[in-house]
């Protein structure tokens, strides 16, 4: 009885902690038609959650206020093969999620959907962005509630997820290193191959030139 109440108290504190996460994230300015892209290099089967918040510059008060309704952001995510895996419009504050199916460089692009050029009032839109990768994207409050975990179990579960992610990243690193090595070896081979071919072609052209000119002079009765 007592422990249940304590647990629910802990969980509610947990939940509130999770919701207050976006407080001190990085921000940048974006123009009306400008598109800002970020690249995330991730292994396969990794979940990514992006949170963003926009603020519009108010000329009268000369400060940034929370953005107006109707001003949304268009989010587009491309996978390493340049195929679009997420292309959606969100409001002035939003969160987007996707899971990678191929390892590699995924490109996350944001641009505003504003068509009225006057809306930004010459200023810029301030965008707060936070991207969580892999196990950081897990919502532990939810998992704890769903699987009815005690706190100790929750923390151990988290450690397991963290180790999983490290292992996935290491596997991906091995695959990339292999590709890297293949490119290097291929370059090395090609340098040697092209040099030999060029030398042979040079010699062949020299022989051809001399033979051709010789027959030409003989034809012209100069030799």
Partner 1 sequence: MEVGRVIVCALAVFVALFSERFVVLASFSQSMDSDFTFTLPAGRKECFFQTMKKDASLEIEYQVLDGAGLDVDFLISSPSGQVLFSDYHKSDGVHTVETVDGDYMFCFDNTFSTVSEKLIFFELILDNMEIEEEQDDWKEYVQGTDILDMKLEDIMDTINNVKARLGKSVHIQTVLRAFEARDRNIQESNFDRVNFWSITNMVVMMVISGIQVYLVRSLFEDKRKVRT
> Which positions from 79 through 138 interact with partner 1, judged by CB under 8 A?
130-131, 136, 138
Residue 10 in contact with partner 1, rule: CB under 8 A = yes
Helix (H) or strand (E) holding 95: strand 93-99
Q: Which two tokens stand for residue 63?
A: 């400060």
Query: b vs e for 129-159, b when ≥16 Cβ sit within 10 Å of the residue's Cβ?
Result: bbbbbbbebbebbeebeeeebeeeebeebee
CA-CA distance, 128 to 56, in Å (whole number)? Answer: 11
- φ/ψ of 87, rounded to 5, equals -150, 95
Measured from the CB atom, the residue of 84 and 163 that comes closer to partner 1 is 163
Residue 23 in contact with partner 1, rule: CB under 8 A = yes
Residue 222 in contact with partner 1, rule: CB under 8 A = yes
Measured from the CB atom, the residue of 17 and 87 that comes closer to partner 1 is 17
Residue 200 in contact with partner 1, rule: CB under 8 A = no
Residue 203 in contact with partner 1, rule: CB under 8 A = no
Measured from the CB atom, the residue of 113 and 170 that comes closer to partner 1 is 170
Residue 215 in contact with partner 1, rule: CB under 8 A = no
Residues 151-180 close enough to bind partner 1 by CB under 8 A: 151-152, 155-156, 158-159, 162-163, 165-166, 169-170, 173, 176-177, 179-180
Place of tokens 């009225």: 116
Helix (H) or strand (E) holding 110: strand 104-112
Residues 44-83 close enough to bind partner 1 by CB under 8 A: none
Residue 141 in contact with partner 1, rule: CB under 8 A = yes
Neighbours of 67 (CB within 10 A): 20
CA-CA distance, 121 to 30, in Å (whole number)? Answer: 13
Instruction: Count the site residues for partner 1 by CB under 8 A.
Output: 71
Please report which residue ranges of 36-136 form alpha helices under DSSP H: none
- Which of 52-60, 67-75, 95-103, 192-200 is the region at the interface with partner 1 (rule: CB under 8 A)? 192-200
- Which of 79-87, 95-103, 112-120, 186-194 is the region at the interface with partner 1 (rule: CB under 8 A)? 186-194
Are 59 and 121 in contact, with CB atoms under 8 Å apart?
A: yes
Measured from the CB atom, the residue of 57 and 140 that comes closer to partner 1 is 140
How far apart are CB 73 and partner 1 at their closest, in Å? 16
- Which of 55-63, 68-76, 113-121, 214-222 is the region at the interface with partner 1 (rule: CB under 8 A)? 214-222
Helix (H) or strand (E) holding 125: strand 125-133
How far apart are CB 86 and partner 1 at their closest, in Å? 18
Neighbours of 184 (CB within 10 A): 10
């Amino acid at each position: 009885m007592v422990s249940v109440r304590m647990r629910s108290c802990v969980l509610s504190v947990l939940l509130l902690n999770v919701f207050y996460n976006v407080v001190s994230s990085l921000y940048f300015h974006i123009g009306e038609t400008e598109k800002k892209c970020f690249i995330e290099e991730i292994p396969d089967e990794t979940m990514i959650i992006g949170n963003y918040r926009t603020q519009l510059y108010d000329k009268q008060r000369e400060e940034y206020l929370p953005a107006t309704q109707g001003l949304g952001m268009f989010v587009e995510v491309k996978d390493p093969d340049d195929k679009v895996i997420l292309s959606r419009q969100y409001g002035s504050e939003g969160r987007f999620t996707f899971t990678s199916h191929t390892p590699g460089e995924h490109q996350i692009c944001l641009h505003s959907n504003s068509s009225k050029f006057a809306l930004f009032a010459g200023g810029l839109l301030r965008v707060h962005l936070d991207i969580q990768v892999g196990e950081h994207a897990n919502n532990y409050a939810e998992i704890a509630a769903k699987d009815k975990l005690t706190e100790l179990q929750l923390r151990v579960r988290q450690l397991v997820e963290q180790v999983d992610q490290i292992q996935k990243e290491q596997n991906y690193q091995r695959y990339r290193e292999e590709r890297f090595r293949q490119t290097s070896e291929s370059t090395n081979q090609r340098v040697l191959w092209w040099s030999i071919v060029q030398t042979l072609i040079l010699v062949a052209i020299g022989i051809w030139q001399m033979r051709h000119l010789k027959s030409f002079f003989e034809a012209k009765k100069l030799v």
